Amino acid sequence: MLKAKTLIEENNHKRKQLNKENKKYYEEMLVYIRLSYDKSEQETEEILTEMLDHLLEAQQGGRSAEDVFGNDPKKYADDIIGELPKMITKDRLLLGAMALLYFGAYSTIFLGLFSVIAHYVFGLDSLYREFYLGSVAIRALLSIPIAFLFMYFILLYLRWASFKNVNKVAEFFLFWLWGVASVGVFMLAIYFTPEIGPTMEVSAFYIILLGMLLLLAGRWTKNKGQ
């Protein structure tokens, strides 16, 4: 049995054989089905591969995606999703751990790079940052659920927008507003958190190194789950 990662790579390659109309139809269903984050990734990719193979065979016979799957792709996709098994607990834990590690990695790397650029380019900041360990713990506990909540609403929107002709300019503006709101909420959480606990002074380069280690740990967790 091919692993999900291999099936995804094969799917990406095979989709190039579809004509424009069939590719658009199939890829809308593909995105919609993959956004069902609580379903087994392995089973999801297997059924998507079967659907693609079936469509490619039909295309060779002169049939369209609508001929194969019907004129209501959302209903067809919902029926497929309803038959897919739930993600097992182990995979859920790995997915959650991977998300936390990536979130921590990119946040830490950004903080370190910001300090380096501010110091060397603008001369505005010291290479060493002082952290209150109690405050760091509180901000992490606040930031993690906030990040998951924002990501959850993005997934909901993407599923809602599937199979719809959404204005791209309006969508870009919506995501821009959502991004600004996300940053604003994080900044408020940081600003209103009191400075408590023992202090630690850390070089910006060590902060970047920590972020890289978290990034490697996230990739290891991702590979372990595939």
Regarding whether 78 and 100 lie in a shared domain, the answer is: no
Regarding whether 217 and 152 lie in a shared domain, the answer is: yes
Regarding whether 219 and 108 lie in a shared domain, the answer is: yes
- Asked whether residue 226 carries a pLDDT value surpassing 70, the answer given is no
- Asked whether residue 225 carries a pLDDT value surpassing 70, the answer given is no
pLDDT > 70: what percent of the chain? 98
- pTM check: above 0.75: no
CA dist 154 and 165 (Å) reads 17
Regarding whether 111 and 187 lie in a shared domain, the answer is: yes
Residue type, 108: T
CA dist 81 and 33 (Å) reads 6
pLDDT > 90: what percent of the chain? 35
Which among 134, 115, 116, 149 has a CA at the least distance from the CA of 196? 134
Q: Which two tokens stand for residue 138?
A: 């509180």
CA dist 208 and 192 (Å) reads 25
Q: What is the pLDDT of residue 182?
A: 80
- Asked whether residue 1 carries a pLDDT value surpassing 80, the answer given is no
Regarding whether 171 and 203 lie in a shared domain, the answer is: yes
Q: What is the pLDDT of residue 131?
A: 86
Q: What is the pLDDT of residue 214?
A: 92
- Asked whether residue 125 carries a pLDDT value surpassing 80, the answer given is no
Which of 60, 83, 106 is a domain's end point?
Answer: 83
List the domain range (segments joined by +) for residue 204. Answer: 90-225
Total structural domains within the chain: 2
Regarding whether 161 and 101 lie in a shared domain, the answer is: yes
- pLDDT, one tens digit per residue, over 28-85 is 999 999 988 778 888 999 999 999 999 999 999 999 999 999 999 999 999 999 988 8
- pLDDT, one tens digit per residue, over 163-194 is 888 788 888 888 888 888 887 888 888 788 88
